[in-house]
Amino acid sequence: MIPSVAQCFALMEQYAMLPNIREHSLMVGRVAGLIGSGLRRAGRPLSLELIVSSALLHDIAKTATLETALRHDELGGEICLQHGLDELAEIVAEHVVLKGALPECCTEKEIVYYADKRVLHDQVVPLEARLDYIIRRYGNEDEVLHARIRHNFAQAHAIEERLFAGLDFSPAELEQRLRRDFFPLEAFGT
C-alpha cells in the first residue's frame, strides 16, 4: 500500500516526529516530487505517489532513535513493514546508505536518497554543503566513518548526474525551480 499525504502526516504524529524533522521531511518530499515529476514528463516510468510518500516518511524513526545507537533508516523500514507499507520499506531503509550497485536508470529509491542529501534542515543546499554538515554532525572525528560518508556522497553525485541528464534544469537551479514550480504535496490526496 502507498499511503496518502494525510496518512503520512498521521504516521508522523503517531511516531512523534519532532517539528524540525517534519519540516525537513516536507522539503525532501517537495524536492523528490519535483525531480520525479520532471523525470515522468521526460518519459521515465516512475510512481510520484511512491516517491512523495517515501520522502515524507524517510525519517519516520529519527525521533525514536535520537538518544540510541539504533539506525533510524533501518528502523524506519521496519516501521513501514509493520504498517503494510511494503513498497516504501526498502526506500526508507536505504535513504542513508544504498545497498548494491546503482541501476542504469534512476528509481524512486535513488530520487528519495538524492533529495535527502540536498536538504539541510528545511533548506535546499548543494551536495557539498550537506556533506560538510553530515561530517561535522555525525562524523565524530572518525576517519573510517568520514570515508563511508564521503562514499555515500560520491554515490549522490553519480545519481545527480543521472537525474539531471533527464531534467530541463541543473542541480544549481533546483532551489530556484522549486520556488518557481512549487511542488504541492497536497496534490497526492488528503
Average pLDDT over residues 140-167: 85
Higher pLDDT, 136 or 36: 36
% residues pLDDT > 90 (the chain): 61
Give pLDDT, residue 187.
58
- Highest averaged pLDDT of the listed ranges 46-55, 143-152, 177-186: 46-55
Average pLDDT, the chain: 88
If pLDDT is split at 50, 70 and 90, which confidence band does 54 have?
Answer: very high
Q: pLDDT tens digits for 56-84? A: 999 999 988 788 877 888 878 999 999 99
Give pLDDT, residue 181.
77
Average pLDDT over residues 45-57: 96
CB 32 within 8 A of CB 55: yes
Inform me whether the pLDDT recorded for 103 exceeds 80.
no
Give pLDDT, residue 32.
96
Give pLDDT, residue 190.
44
Q: pLDDT tens digits for 26-38? A: 999 999 999 999 9
Distance CA 60, CA 140 (A): 24
Handedness of CA 116, 120, 124, 126 (dihedral sign): negative
Sketch out the chain's domains with CATH numbers: 5-188 (1.10.3210)
Give pLDDT, residue 67.
83
Average pLDDT over residues 100-111: 82
Average pLDDT over residues 116-135: 90
pTM score above 0.85: yes
CB 108 within 8 A of CB 46: yes
CB 57 within 8 A of CB 188: no
CB 19 within 8 A of CB 52: no
Inform me whether the pLDDT recorded for 107 exceeds 70.
yes
Give pLDDT, residue 147.
79
H-type alpha helices, 2-99: 5-14, 19-41, 48-57, 62-65, 72-82, 86-93
First to last CA, the chain: 15
